Amino acid sequence: MLPLPLREGVEARGPVNPHLWLMAAYGFVAGLPLPLSGFTFRLWLSEGGVSLALIGLTANIGLAYSLKFLWAPVLDNALPPGPLRRLGRRRGWLAAIQPSLAAAAALLALSDPAHLPFVSLGVAALVAFLSASQDIVVDAWRIEVFPQHRQGAAMAAYVWGYRVALLIATTGVISAVSTVGWHVALLGVAVLIGLGLVVTLLAPEPLPTARRVASAGFASRLAHAVIAPLRDFLTRRGAPLILAFVALFKLGEAMAGIMTAPFYRALGFSREAIAATGWFSLGGTLAGIALGGWLVARLGTGRALLRTGWAQTIAMAMYLLLAVSAGEHHVLFATVTTEAFAQGMADAAFITYLSGLCSREFTATHYALLSSLAAIAVHTIGGASGVLAARMGWVAFYALCMFAALPSMGLMLVLLRRYPPEEGEER
């Protein structure tokens, strides 16, 4: 028997909150599709002899993650299709999206990037679109099911599930390729993605808020869903600077990350060595998130963001060391661990900063907008990373990635001085 709908903000009582397990499960199914348009996909392309320029363009197929705020109001306000409406607004849309996402992942697994790379790119773009759509609804579900004081625990559960999924979809797939080949290994990921529907059927449906029940015509819903959140944010002091900072904060680190798969192959590392980096990445990320969260609590969001942002920038120097290390495995593992640790710290502070920018009335829409904006430079400017790497060479390219992080650091200094985050207050 499926759980009854849950009143908004009400949690089940007991020693273990079952909804945290659901949050971890949602993190797991949300993390699986990302490497299918990211690292794992790029490694598959590089082994198929695809050019660096084309591999760099895979950054653009992830634009769906940056533009998801455009259709977030539809998923937030429109009813799910047909009989899925009986599941509720959140579960109904997830039940529509998740089987389609699994099918798209299966199509990608059956494609042939070595001979038809543009077909594979197109299917990977579809995977990214459906994955971003799933993210929109899961974020809304989290915000409506968990009260404010439990949002931190919910995000922690989500991140653990997400990181385990990334390990499976990268290290797990790459390790399995030697035995079963790319097609079967990726089909296994598609099957796991299909389990998302099971999670949705077991999840509670939040009751609609009074705002949704009372909303009248389409024009009124559109105005409240799209215009009001934008007006609320753009009329704040320092809004242009805040948006510029959010858009640029991840640029240098992401440009560096886009090229890691062909970079490792160019240095002569085997598939087994590349697969082993997943464990170092997982450990570094979880340790970094833990330390970053402690720094936020200890120093406050602003000072923690400043320190972790510089740590993330400086950590990219490890790529320069790796580029001249003549394929030394210990340097590879040290680079992956250091970069993951610094990125985890920065993510903990950055996500806290973004969350603090969201008004309570428009939390889901504001977070979709800001998280989309945080990835926009990655999926636009970052698409040129393959061309730059091919023309400049690896050392000069990764030096450029470090310099690409400096504009956001300058903006951060201005923002923290003029518009410091409000610690411990709700908007």
Instruction: Give tens-digit pLDDT for 227-250.
Output: 777 788 888 888 889 888 988 888
Tell me the C-alpha distance between 196 and 191, whole Å.
10
- Matching CATH topology for 16-214 and 217-427? yes
pLDDT at 359: 73
What's the per-residue H, E or C state across 307-329?
Answer: HHHHHHHHHCHHHHHHHCCCCCH
Quick one: DSSP state of residue 379? T
* Residue boundaries of the structural domains of the chain: 16-214, 217-427
Whether the Cβ atoms of residue 157 and residue 24 lie closer than 8 Å to each other: yes
Domain 217-427: which CATH number of 1.10.8.350, 1.10.260.40, 1.20.1250.20, 3.30.70.141? 1.20.1250.20
| Residue for token pair 């730059």 | 388
Q: 101 vs 43, which has greater pLDDT? A: 101
Whether 197 shows a pLDDT value over 50: the answer reads yes
113-167 pLDDT, tens digit per residue, is 888 888 999 999 999 999 999 998 998 888 778 765 566 567 767 878 888 899 8
Q: 193 vs 17, which has greater pLDDT? A: 193
364-408 pLDDT, tens digit per residue, is 677 778 877 777 766 677 667 778 888 889 999 999 988 888 898
Tokens of 129: 């679109």
Which of 136, 112, 139, 137 minimizes the C-alpha distance to 123?
Answer: 112
Tell me the C-alpha distance between 54 and 121, whole Å.
10
User: How much is the pTM?
Assistant: 0.69
- Which fold is adopted by the domain 16-214? Growth Hormone; Chain: A; (1.20.1250)
Tell me the C-alpha distance between 225 and 127, whole Å.
26
